[in-house]
A and B are shown apart, each in its own frame.
Chain A
Amino acid sequence: MKYVKGLKCRECGREYPVEPIYVCEFCFGPLEAIYDYGKIKRALTRKTIEKRPKTLWRYKELLPIDGEPQVGLSSGFTPLVKADILAKYLGVKELYIKDDTVNHPTLSFKDRVVAVALTKAKEFGFDTVACASTGNLAHAVSAHGAKSGFNRFIFIPASLEQSKITASIVYEPNLVAVDGNYDDVNRLCSEIANKYRWAFVNINIRPFYAEGSKTIGFEIVEQLGWDTPDSIVVPCASGSLLTKVWKALKEFKEIGILKEVETKIYGAQATGCSPISTAFKQGTDVIRPVKPNTVAKSLAIGNPADGFYALQAVRESGGAMEDVSDEEIIDAIKLLAKTEGIFAETAGGVTLATYIKLLKEGKIDKKDCTVLCITGNGLKTAEVLDGKTAEVYHIKPNLASFEEALSMIKQKGGK
């Protein structure tokens, strides 16, 4: 059964049928999927959801597909970890980690959006999927595309590090390294998306792709026992994830699953690429593009497509935005690992470091129940910790040497 009514321009409100289009013909505003909430309200209840397999597809009526899910059938429904040790360390009452470091199969939240994008691409009849990415998105499109039988084109800047290339090329997509800077790659991909009849997941499939991010919001509510937290901290690259987490909460209220939504949404960026946070702090709604310079490469979008809408969501919810230095990001990655046993990529460091900063500024209350969205696995960006981790004790293969090291560990207060 169909629950999607069509696409609607976020600027002028003009409506369009469900097609692989992404921009309003009249005002060039971005298009967004709209739903028949009355129909969804009759079909989707807490009980219906609870009976379904624990994947992102348990909320399928609120996702922009017409038939049954076809891709990413094991993706989503990642753990919501009660972070008691980290909470105690920070002196806060109640803290949770939404742990997408273990999303299936490529260990980031991109498994969610790509599952939805590729299911929609199947429905549209595409045989080829594509994306431009330096990391998580490339991994997800390469892997999900392989499993679901698509031809795959992945575009990367030619300067990309070998380790990141390996994590995509192992799935054997057509990996195309483009000579030129990021602007050149962006422009080329836009041209390709307009010329070839491919499903370019974050261009012509973007209105559908982006909706997959809502499942993080749905899951947080369900995993809190059908309740909302006081605050959610979300990392921002294009800003899309943040807008969709907010949309998810509002949709649950719209269809009667939640009575009230009083959650405040907080946006997290790296100072080296903080166009949205800067606009928030300056009190303007003008996003000024920047040239990224941060270790948080997965958030390094200098010209964020959904920046304006992310600002709107943060302001509407009563939240705030902050940004953090590379040093704070690295410290936060290590803190999350040593307290909660979760190894996050740099974006996770951004989220936790921003939370700590917002606590210090008094913008998030220590008594709040807070959820941190940790969106990707640390093994993907392990190189950022080179030379910045605790020391290794090297010993000779005899007991005396070990006991010497043990005494050194104890002297340092180790256990």
Chain B
Amino acid sequence: MSEVKKLRVRLTFPQELIKEPVLFRMAKKYDVMPNIRRARVTDTFGEMILELEGTETNLQQGINSLREQGVVVELIEGDIIE
């Protein structure tokens, strides 16, 4: 069985996805457990800081599916390469 990993990320949702249960669907489909720490939603965007827990493959597939739907997925550290 693959090792379970945790990844801390910042999700930015475009306006058209704010009302959609994007995160829940991803979590269910790919067996990824989200642990939300901070979030804010305005008229024009949604932002969420959270931890995702799952196997490497599931995490990657889950993140890819979020990106394909238009969610920006970034590490909470920001860009590390300086």
Contacts and interface: CB of A to CB of B under 8 A. Distances in A.
Interface of A: 11, 22-23, 26-29, 110, 131-134, 136-137, 155-157, 182, 185-187, 189-190, 202-203, 237-238, 286, 288-289, 298, 301-307
Contact of A133 (B47, B78, B82): B82
A286 B47 contact: yes
B81 A186 contact: yes
B81 to A, nearest CB: 5
A187 B75 contact: yes
A190 B82 contact: no
Contact of B80 (A23, A110, A185): A185
Chain B: number of interface residues, binned into ranges: 10 to 19
A286 B45 contact: yes
B31 interface: no
Contacts of B75: 186-187, 190, 303
Contacts of B51: 28
Nearest to B51: A28
Nearest to B50: A28
Q: Across the A-B interface, give the 10 residue pairs with the lowest CB-CB distance, nearest first.
A: A305-B78, A137-B82, A301-B79, A132-B81, A186-B80, A303-B74, A303-B79, A132-B80, A189-B80, A28-B37
Contacts of B26: none
Contacts of B78: 238, 301, 303-307
A23 B49 CA distance: 12
A190 B80 contact: yes
11 contacts: A27-B49, A28-B38, A132-B82, A182-B79, A187-B75, A190-B80, A286-B12, A303-B78, A303-B79, A306-B78, A307-B78
A155 B79 CA distance: 13
Nearest to A186: B80
Contacts of A26: 37
B23 interface: no
A27 B80 contact: no
Which of A28, A29, A131, A134: most chain B Cβ within 10 A?
A28
Interface string B11-39: 01000000000000000000000000110
A168 to B, nearest CB: 13
B76 A237 contact: no
Contacts of A11: 38
B80 to A, nearest CB: 5
Given A28-B8, A28-B38, A288-B72, A133 B77 contact: no
A186 B76 CA distance: 11
Given A27-B49, A133-B81, A289-B72, 12 more contacts: A29-B38, A182-B81, A185-B81, A186-B75, A186-B80, A187-B75, A202-B80, A288-B72, A302-B79, A303-B79, A304-B78, A306-B78
A132 B75 CA distance: 14
Contacts of B37: 26-28
Contact of B12 (A23, A28, A182, A289): A289
A359 B49 CA distance: 38
A134 B72 CA distance: 24
Interface string B46-81: 010111000000000000000000001011111111
A340 B21 CA distance: 58
Nearest to B74: A303
Contacts of A301: 78-79, 81-82
Contact of B81 (A23, A157, A306): A157
A203 B77 contact: yes
Contacts of A203: 77, 80
A110 B51 CA distance: 31
Contacts of A185: 80-81
B30 to A, nearest CB: 17
Contacts of A182: 79, 81
Given A27-B38, A187-B75, A288-B72, A131 B45 contact: no
Contact of B82 (A136, A187, A289, A307): A136
B9 to A, nearest CB: 9
